[in-house]
Amino acid sequence: MSDPKPVKGIMTRLSALMFMEWGVKGLWVPLAGIFLVTETSMGGLGFTETQKGMIIGLPMAVACFIAPFLGGQLTDRLFPTQKVIAVMLVGTGILMWFTADQTGFSIWMTLCIAFTILYVPTNALVNSLAMEHLSDPKNQFPKIRLWGTIGWIAVSWIFPMIWLQENLRFQLLPPFLKGDEVPMVTARMVESLKFGGGLAVILGFYCWFVLPNTPPQKEAGDKLAWVAGLKLFKKRSFSVLMIMALPVSILQVFYMMNTAPFLKEGGLQGSMVMPAMSLGQFSEIAALAFLGVLLTKLGFRTIMTIGIFCYALRYFIFGIPGVPVEVLVAVQLMHGLSFGCFYASAFIYVQRISPRGVHNTAQTLFIFVMFGLAPLIAGYWLNGWLADLCGAPNGVHNLDSYVRFWRITSVGGIISAALFWIFFRDETEDPETSPTAKA
């Protein structure tokens, strides 16, 4: 790839982009596991665990299946990336706002599919756009991406304070302010979609007017960008990464679907779930801040294996009976290591191994596995099947069934880490100088 033209203030612009991009998702996804299945008399939507899994899994699968053909083709061949992102985000925000007012499963599912189709491609496109304008993506991109994590933390703290709690009091531990839950707090959790939708619209206008122009590569070989993207599977490292991203992403989906209700079952106040889960983002910031150095010293193979192993270790601790809720909250710090080391490294690797003119499509292919296939398998089928296998009463977990659930997933994490270490080899480094060459 040729060196990008210098853009004034590019690090600041891209940092703000990441802050808002992940703030949109961070506003409502951590709470969805609670309000989707809470009884209607308590302000929830009263859906079943199976319906919750369908809402989380099916829209992501549909969106990620379309993303390489829609987002990748539009930006790699037809339109400037920043304008495609802008239009998609404005549409996302409008649909999210309307979704928050719905109560029926069918209409919820339909609207969720619609706004997810628009939002999911932007996750890959913002990564590709950012790296297109960085002179040293391997070292600079993690510093940009960590602002997405900061955005997730910010909304996880601010939203409960202003919308879910009252009579705020200072405390020594994060998020430093804690109050009493407002009446019908679960009903207010649903409105997190409106806040997320509003932020998406703001970000859409930001992308259109503030981000640097990122034109398509019309001179690229294949007219269909997704065809060129599929040719990447001829490279062993890309194929191994894509294959192993599936079980790892299933572990990530289990985290997003089950951690909030698990912490609540363990004794944590419902309105404190978002701040508690945001602790994982603090360690993610640390991981991302040093990721460039770690990748240079240890290589992609080692760092991504560490990320996968952290999933296994965290779920092993979750699966120990009688662990105090304070320990369960503290273990959230491992989320940053698992997500930061594996996914941020994978985004960089996909960009490095894909040719210019296919970057956006390559990123959306990875997002397809991460946010498409994994949620479909985990949410639509595997989560409910494991709940029954672990003895969840009427398909809804209690603390005992969660212990058995986390033990099973920890074994899956160990196996995934071992397989990745055995089969992955970095094809973007000189084999004589690669940190993993002698491993």
Asked if 277 and 152 touch (Cβ cutoff 8 Å), the reply is no
> Residue 3: inside a domain, yes or no?
no
> Residue 246: inside a domain, yes or no?
yes
Dihedral sign from CA coordinates of 237, 239, 242, 243:
negative
> Residue 58: inside a domain, yes or no?
yes
The pLDDT score that the predictor gives to residue 76 is: 67
> What is the value of pTM for the model shown?
0.76
Domain count, the chain: 1
Reduce the DSSP state of residue 26 to 3 states and report it.
Answer: helix
> Residue 280: inside a domain, yes or no?
yes
> Residue 1: inside a domain, yes or no?
no
Q: Which amino acid is at 102?
A: Q
Q: What is the CB neighbour count within 10 angstroms for residue 221?
A: 12
Q: Where residue 289 sits, what CATH number does that domain have?
A: 1.20.1250.20
> Residue 163: inside a domain, yes or no?
yes
- Give the integer Cα–Cα distance in Å for 395 and 391: 8
Segments forming the whole domain that contains residue 252: 10-423
The pLDDT score that the predictor gives to residue 392 is: 81
Q: Where are the alpha helices (H) located in 133-191, listed in sequence order?
A: 137-159, 185-190
Q: What is the CB neighbour count within 10 angstroms for residue 13?
A: 18
- Give the integer Cα–Cα distance in Å for 86 and 73: 16
Nearest to 35 by CA among 214, 251, 191, 200: 191
> Residue 430: inside a domain, yes or no?
no
Which residue in the block uniquely carries the two structure tokens 């309307």?
98
Asked if 233 and 362 touch (Cβ cutoff 8 Å), the reply is no
H or E stretch covering 251: helix 236-265
Q: Which two tokens stand for residue 366?
A: 């990875």
H or E stretch covering 170: strand 165-170
Q: What is the pLDDT along the chain (439 residues), one digit of tens a residue?
A: 445 566 778 999 999 999 999 999 989 988 888 899 888 999 999 998 778 878 877 887 788 777 666 666 676 677 899 999 999 999 999 999 999 999 999 999 999 999 999 998 898 889 889 988 998 888 899 999 999 989 988 998 899 899 999 888 887 766 778 888 888 899 999 999 999 999 999 999 999 999 999 888 665 555 555 677 788 899 999 999 999 999 999 999 899 888 888 998 888 877 778 778 878 888 888 888 899 999 999 999 999 999 999 999 999 999 999 899 889 999 999 988 898 899 999 999 998 998 877 877 788 888 888 877 888 788 778 888 898 899 887 777 888 899 999 999 999 999 999 999 999 999 986 544 444 443 3
- The strand pairing partners of 165, in sequence order, are 181
CA 121 from chain centre, in angstroms, equals: 12
